[in-house]
Amino acid sequence: MTLAFSLYSLIFFSILIWAYYDSKFKNNTLSAGFLSSFFKFYPVLIFTIIIGFRYNVGGDFPTYVNYYNEQYDISDPSKVPYEFGFFLIISTLQSLGLDYQSIFIVVAAVQIILLLKIIQLSNESRFLVLFFYFTTLSFLESLNVMRQGVAVLAVVLAVYYFKNKNYLNFILNSVIAMCFHNSSLFAIPIIILISNLNFIKYRIFIILLIFIFNVFSIEIFKFLISIITELGVFGKYSGYLEVSSDLFIKSKNNSISIGLIISTFTDIYIITSYQRVKKNSNYRGLSCYFINAFIVGTLMYPLAAASGFITLQRIMMYFYGVKYLVISDILMKGMNNGNWIERKGFMLFIILTFYLVWFIAAVSIGAAGSSPFKFNSSYF
C-alpha cells in the first residue's frame, strides 16, 4: 500500500508540475527550447514507466495478459473478444516479438497523452481537473477497465473538437476511442446530442429524482425488470460500477455510507450552482459541453450499479466519468464569480478534503485492484 501511495503521488505531482509550466510556456513567460521540451515529455515518461510496467495491478490485469497471449486469426475478427483496433495493436506488438507487458506500456502512453491534452484544454481549471481525475477515482478505475479508461478520455476530446468544429481531430479521437472500446460508438453521438439541451432548466425535478434513485435504486430496478421481463439478461454479469459499494467511507452502524451521501450532495451542489455561476462568468470551460452528460450520469448511475447489467454500466462510465471536468469548472468559476461562500473558498476546501480522503481510503482498500502495487520483476 505504501508503494502504491508513493507511486500514485509521484504521478500526480509530476503532472501537476507539468501543468504549471505548460501554462507558463503557453503564456510565453518562459523561453522555449530544451526546458520546454523536457517539461512536455517527462510526465509521459513517468506515467508510462509506472503504469506500463505494473504487474497484476488492476482487476482485469490477468484478462489482458490472456488477451495478449491468445492467437487469433485476422481473417475472422468476429471471434476476437475485443475491439478490432485493439486487436491490431496487439498483433503489431506480437509481430515485433514483444511480450504481454508491451500492451500495458502502449495503453499507458496513449492514456497519459490524452489526459495531458484534456488538462491543456481546461485552461484555468487545469489543476482542479488533475486533482479530481485522481480523487473521483477515474484514474483508479482506468487501472481496472484499461481499454475503456482510454476510451473515456478520447470521447471527451472527440466531443470537444466536434463542438468547436475541428472535425479532423474529432475523427481522430473518435477512431482512438472506438479502437479501445466499442461502447464509445454510442457514447459520442449521445453526448453531442444532449449537449444542445437545457437540462439545468429542470434542476429541481432532477434533484428530486437523484434522491429517489439513490435511495430506491434496487427497488426501482426490480420494478422495471418485473415489467420488462424479456430483459432477463440483467443481473447475469458482474458489475463495473464498484464505487457505490466499497469505495465510500462507511459508518459502523449504518448500511448507508457517509461517502455516498456526501458525494450525492456534491453532485446536487454542482447542478444547482451551474446556471448561477455560468451566468456570472465569461469563461467557457469544458463543463458547458458535458454538464448534461454529467446530469444523465448522476441520475442513471445508481440504477446502473444496481442492475449489474454490464452494457448499461459501460455506457454510464462515459457520463458519470466526466464528473471531474464539470466539478472543476464549477468550483473554479465559483471562486471568481460565485456567492460569498464560494468566493471565500469554503466549498472548494470542503469538497477537496472529502475527495482526497475518498482517494486515500480507496487506495488503502485496494479499490479497482490499485493496491498493493508491484512491478514486473522481469524488468525491475
Cis peptide before 302 (omega within 30 of 0): no
Residue 259 pLDDT greater than 80, yes or no:
no
User: Which amino acid is residue 24, in one-letter code?
Assistant: K
pLDDT category at 103 given cuts 50, 70, 90 is very high
Residue 184 pLDDT greater than 80, yes or no:
yes
Question: For helices 167-180 and 146-163, what crossing angle results, to 10°?
Answer: 160
Q: Regarding predicted confidence, which is higher, 186 or 335?
A: 186
Alpha carbons 170 and 332: distance in angstroms, whole number: 27
Q: Provide the pLDDT for residue 241.
A: 45
**What grid cell was written down for 323?**
464528473
**What grid cell was written down for 363?**
487506495
330 contacts 287 by C-beta, under 8 angstroms = yes
Residue 15 pLDDT greater than 60, yes or no:
yes
pLDDT category at 230 given cuts 50, 70, 90 is very low
Q: Which range (10-24, 64-78, 133-147) has the least confidence? A: 64-78
The angle at the Cα of 208, spanning 230 to 206, to the nearest 5 degrees, equals: 75
The candidate with the shortest Cα–Cα distance to 326, out of 354, 298, 368, 359, is 298
1 contacts 371 by C-beta, under 8 angstroms = yes
Q: Provide the pLDDT for residue 9.
A: 94
pLDDT category at 222 given cuts 50, 70, 90 is low
Tens digit of pLDDT for each residue in 275-302? Answer: 777 766 665 677 888 999 999 888 887 7
High-pLDDT (> 90) share of the chain, %: 32
180 contacts 151 by C-beta, under 8 angstroms = yes
Going from N- to C-terminal start, the domains of the chain cover 2-368
Dihedral pair phi/psi, residue 54, rounded to 5°: -70, 160
Mean pLDDT, rounded, for 105-117:
95
Tens digit of pLDDT for each residue in 48-63? Answer: 999 999 999 988 899 8
Q: Regarding predicted confidence, which is higher, 252 or 374?
A: 374
**What grid cell was written down for 78?**
468476429
Mean pLDDT, rounded, for 77-100:
84
pLDDT category at 87 given cuts 50, 70, 90 is confident
Residue 166 pLDDT greater than 80, yes or no:
yes
61 contacts 375 by C-beta, under 8 angstroms = no
311 contacts 148 by C-beta, under 8 angstroms = no
Dihedral pair phi/psi, residue 73, rounded to 5°: -85, 120
The candidate with the shortest Cα–Cα distance to 184, out of 88, 302, 63, 83, is 83
Region of 177 on the Ramachandran plot (φ > 0 left; ψ -120 to 50 alpha; else beta):
alpha
User: Which amino acid is residue 370, in one-letter code?
Assistant: S
Most confident of 120-124, 244-248, 299-303: 120-124
Residue 226 pLDDT greater than 60, yes or no:
no
Q: Regarding predicted confidence, which is higher, 91 or 256?
A: 91
